[in-house]
Amino acid sequence: MPSLIDIRRRIRSVKNTQQITKAMKMVSAAKLRRAQDRVIAARPYVALLSKLLADVAAAAADEPAGENPLLAARPEQRVLLVLITADKGLAGAFNSNLIKGAQRFMAERAGAHFKLELAGRKGRDFFRKHGVDIAGEYTGLSAKPAYADMAAIARKAMDMLRAGEIDAVYMLYNEFKSVMTQRLTVTRVLPVPLPDRSEPMDFIYEQPAAELLGELLPRYVETEFFRALLESTAAEHAARMTAMESATSNAAEMIDKLTLHMNRVRQASITKEIIEVVSGAAAGE
């Protein structure tokens, strides 16, 4: 049975851990507020850009300029998978779900050859050890999400598609739904899937629609890459805040149990001493 000193030392250790997890929860909550604001601001822009792109693509289809290579669908024999994970742990199942999702995605398309663009240290460290064809590695992106960083990755993917090195580009990331919920999302970004024109709009274009489409498509792809990073960053902070809140609660429960156990040990020790004193007094008589 551990002594009172051992139990007190354990309680102090758990209290120190509780202070750390509580501080990490507060830091994640502050970061989450900023990340959530950026995600909410980006979603309407991407939705409107997607709708505009569908209208322009429909107008460009009537022109004899030929199909844009970023729209041309082909058999998916060579696939580029862009996986966005976190650089740090302590976020529950955030990273493990992404890695398992990537493995499942590749297993379901066993006939295709995969290249991976790995954004985030956790995904990079895992797939480095598994003999996967890695096209690029990026760390530190979620610390300060910048459009230029994701735009560079998007341009690289578009160049690979135009050169015929790959047939499709997919992104796998955690989409932010709420503080308690992050949804594992796999989406094809290249060739660009055009949304249905539920409410088509007739525009009069000053320049040829095909030329306008050629300018809009790269911008749309870059924006989709950046939005995925914003979604993943917000989801990461939410997952870490939830994990640290749970850890803080668990630490409080452990402190209560250890304190109760310490009191029982102390009471037993006092009772034993009283019995020994009484027994000694009785023997002296």
Q: Residue 119: count other Cβ atoms within 10 Å of its Cβ.
A: 28
pLDDT of amino acid 176: 92
**Statement: residue 205 has pLDDT above 70:** no
Cα–Cα distance list, 73 to 173, 203, 279 (Å):
23, 26, 93
CA dist 203 and 254 (Å) reads 65
Number of other CB atoms surrounding residue 213 within 10 Å: 24
Comparison of pLDDT for 11 and 269, the residue scoring more = 11
Which burial class, exposed, middle or buried, applies to 252 when counting CB atoms under 10 A from its CB (0-12, 13-18, 19+)?
A: middle
Higher pLDDT, 88 or 277: 88
Phi-psi sector, 195: left (phi>0), alpha (psi -120 to 50), beta: beta
For the chain, the average pLDDT equals 87
- Please check the confidence at residue 115 and state whether its pLDDT lies above 70: yes
- pLDDT class of 74 with cuts at 50, 70, 90: confident
**Residue type at 19 in one-letter notation:** Q
Lowest mean pLDDT among 99-103, 129-133, 231-235, 252-256: 129-133
pLDDT value at 277 more than 90: no
What pLDDT is stored for residue 175 in this prediction? 92
Contact (Cβ atoms closer than 8 angstroms) between residue 84 and residue 204: no
- What is the radius of gyration, based on Cα positions, of the chain? 28
Q: Specify the amino acid at residue 130.
A: H
Report residue 55's pLDDT band, with 50, 70 and 90 as the boundaries. confident
Q: Which two tokens stand for residue 270?
A: 């006092």
CB 52 within 8 Å of CB 254: no
